[in-house]
Structure 1
Amino acid sequence: MSNSLRDQLLKQGLVSKDQVQKAEADKRKHRKQAKKKQPQAAQQMTEAERTRKLAAKRQAEKIARDRQLNLKREQERQAQARKAQLKELIESNQVAREPGEVSYNFTHGKRIKRLYLSANQHKQLVAGKLAITCFKGTYYLVAPEVAERLRKADESLFLHRNPPPSEADDDPYADYPVPDDLMW
C-alpha cells in the first residue's frame, strides 16, 4: 500500500523508466535552483534593508543639518535684534557734541583717538559726567549710566569713561589755590 504514485504508474505501464528518471532529475534540478535562489532572495532583502537604512540615515542627517541651520539663523536674528536695541539705546541717549576747539584724547584699541569738543563737554568728560562709546565707527557721548548699561550688554561698545572724582581724596594742597599768574 505504501507504493508511491511513481511505482504504481510503472507497474501499469503508463510511464517508462526513462521518463521516471528524467522527472527525478528535473525535480533535483528545481530543488538546487530553489536553494540557490533563496540566498539571492535573502541578499535582495538585505540590499533593500540597506537601502532603507541608508535613506533613513540620510534623512536623519538632513534633519540634523536643518536644525543646526535654523539654530544658526535664529542666533543671527537675535544678534541683529540686540544690535538694533543697542543702537536705539545709544541714539536715544546720546549727548549732542558741541563743536569746539578743545581736543580730548582717548585710546581705542591700540590707537589714540581725538575728539574736538566744547570746553563744557571737555570738563564733563574729565569729571566723569560723560562717557565715550563707539558704534559702527562713530563716536558718541553718553551719560555714565547709559555707558554702564552698554558695557554690560556688549563690552566692545564701551570705550572710555573717567572715574568720577572721589570726595575722599585728601589733597594736602587743596587749601592753597594756584595763582593765576603762575607760569611753568
Structure 2
Amino acid sequence: MVKNALQAQLLKAGLVDNKKAKKLSKQAQHEQRTGENKDAELRAKIEQDKQLKLSKDQSLDQEKQRQLNEKALQAAIVQMIKQHKINETDGDSVYQFIDDGKIKKLYINQQIYNALVTGSLVIAKDQAQYAFLPKALAERINEKMQGFIVVNNADATNDQVTDEEDPYAAYVIPDDLMW
C-alpha cells in the first residue's frame, strides 16, 4: 500500500521496490514523531526563556523603583534644608572648612560662628550653596541619607593621641583660633 503519490510513480517506473518504499514511509513516520519531540523541546526552551525574561524584567523594575525612591528621598531632604536653613548669616567673621578636599571660606556673623564652633549648628549642602541648619535637623537628615552634612562640630572629638615627649603637649589649640 502506497501512501504517497510520488512513491506510486516511482514504483510504476520501477526505480524503487516495495521494500524501499516501506522503509522510506517508516522513516517519514519516525521523523514526524521525533519532530513532535523537537516541538516539545522548543516549547520548553521558549517557556524557560519567558521565565528568564520575566525575572530579568522584575529585577530591572525593582532597580528603577529603588532609584525613584532614592530621588524622592533626595528631593525631600533638599526641601527640608530649604525650609529650615538660617537666612540672615552675613557678617565679618570668617569660617573655614573642608568640602570635597577643598578649603571653603564663608563670611558669617559672630552668633552663627559661635553656634558652629559649639556644634549647635551644622553646615549642609544646599545644591551649589551651603546652608546653616540646627543640629537636630542634621541628625534626622543623616539618618535618612548620608552626604548632605558637610560640617558637624558636635561629632568632633578632641581626643587626639599625643606623644609623651612632645614639648607642646600641655598646650591645647582652640578650635576657634583666629589668625
TM-score, with length taken from structure 1: 0.67
Q: Which residue of 1 aligns with 2:154?
A: 163
Cα deviation 1:120-145 (Å, max 9, x = unaligned): 21122122221111143321100010
Unaligned runs of 5+ in 2: 1-13, 156-179
1:31-70 correspondence runs (5 A): 31-70=22-61
Cα deviation 1:21-41 (Å, max 9, x = unaligned): x9xx63x44432232123211
Q: Following the alignment from structure 1 to structure 2, what is the Cα–Cα distance between the partners of residues 57 and 147?
A: 50
Query: Radius of gyration: which is bigger?
Result: 1
Q: Answer yes or no: is the 8 Å Cα contact 1:97–1:141 preserved in 2.
A: no
Q: Following the alignment from structure 2 to structure 1, what is the Cα–Cα distance between the partners of residues 143 and 98?
A: 20
Cα deviation 1:45-102 (Å, max 9, x = unaligned): 1321232122212211221221112111111111111112211221121111422221
1:112 pairs with 2:103: yes
Q: Following the alignment from structure 1 to structure 2, what is the Cα–Cα distance between the partners of residues 115 and 44?
A: 80
Corresponding letter in the other structure for 1:105? Q
Unaligned runs of 5+ in 1: 1-21, 165-184
- Residues 161 and 29 of structure 1: CA distance in aligned 2, closer, same or farther (over 3 Å): closer
Identical counterparts, % of pairs: 20
Q: Which residue of 1 aligns with 2:80?
A: 89
Deviation at 1:162, TM superposition (A): 2.0
TM-score, with length taken from structure 2: 0.69
Q: Answer yes or no: is the 8 Å Cα contact 2:82–2:126 preserved in 1.
A: no
Q: Following the alignment from structure 1 to structure 2, what is the Cα–Cα distance between the partners of residues 117 and 71?
A: 45
RMSD value, Cα:
2.1
1:144 pairs with 2:148: no
